[in-house]
Structure 1
Amino acid sequence: MVLNNIEKLLEKYENGETSLHEEQQLKNYFLQETVAPHLEMYKPMFTYFQVNKQEQFTKDLPLKTKKVFNYKWIAVAAVAVLTLGYYFKEPAVSSYEEYAYGTYDNPEDALNEVTKQLAMISNHFNKGVSTVNYLDEVNKGTETLGYLNEMENATSIIFKKQ
């Protein structure tokens, strides 16, 4: 009689239809030493529930939060630095000659210097272009692959019609 009752309770338990009192009856039955042989597979599950119920979390949880850096103070410091920089800046230079570094009095010297600099830039540019010339060969290879693809399409049309 008890075994039939336990089997009915197990069926209800598997369907999720048991009450707390019925679940307690199941736990009490499966925590006993003797359990019906065909119900032995449920015993580890209910013993796990009992052991798991007794587990406790023992680690300490920190209740203080970490300090968050306030970025508003960075904006205040930046404004202060800019204000001080504006206040203590050097007086404006009145003449253009003080800023005219690297200028030439003779136009021919200036032309020669510009020509020399442009030749140097051209030389470096040509070195860079020469290292990329292999891309033309890659383009030629992809074009031939395109021809092979067209040939494959034609052969597939021929063989499908036969």
Structure 2
Amino acid sequence: MVLNSIEKLLEKYDNAETTLQEEAHLRAYFSSSNVAPHLEHYKPLFIYFTNEQQELFTQDVPLNTNKKTNFYQWISVAAVAVIILGIMVPQLWNSPTYSDEEMELYNKTKNALVFMSSNFNEGVSSMNVLEMASDNFNAGMYNASFVSEFGRTTNKFLKQ
């Protein structure tokens, strides 16, 4: 009975489902001298865990209570601030001025793109009409296959 409960606990242990009390029970079992032969390979594992729990760190840990400001952190903050100011400030103070020739060229380009866009949209709508016609043609061909099959079947009956 004890062996069955140990095997069930080992299965739970392998699935990481044991409680601390169950693990303590397993450590106690494997620390004893009467371990079942087919469970001997678990014994070094639990003995290792028992030994490692008793190990202590005895050296002093030095704590530095003096706060030193890291100079390099402030340099990186300053560099980011300079980059942001270098990008934003010229854009805020110097609004771009365009000559009359540049504005005329811009307006002509804009009108040409609007014209191309409207023609493109008309072409797309024409393609939609062609697509509908293609779908209707395919549906008609499908229905015509039924008519031809019906004709073949009728001819078989009439010849007999």
Specify the TM-score bucket, using the shorter chain as the normaliser: 0.3 to 0.5
Structure showing greater relative contact order (alpha-carbon pairs closer than 8 Å, 6 or more residues apart): 2
TM-score normalised by L of structure 2: 0.40
**More helix as a share of residues:** 2
* TM-score w.r.t. length of structure 1: 0.40
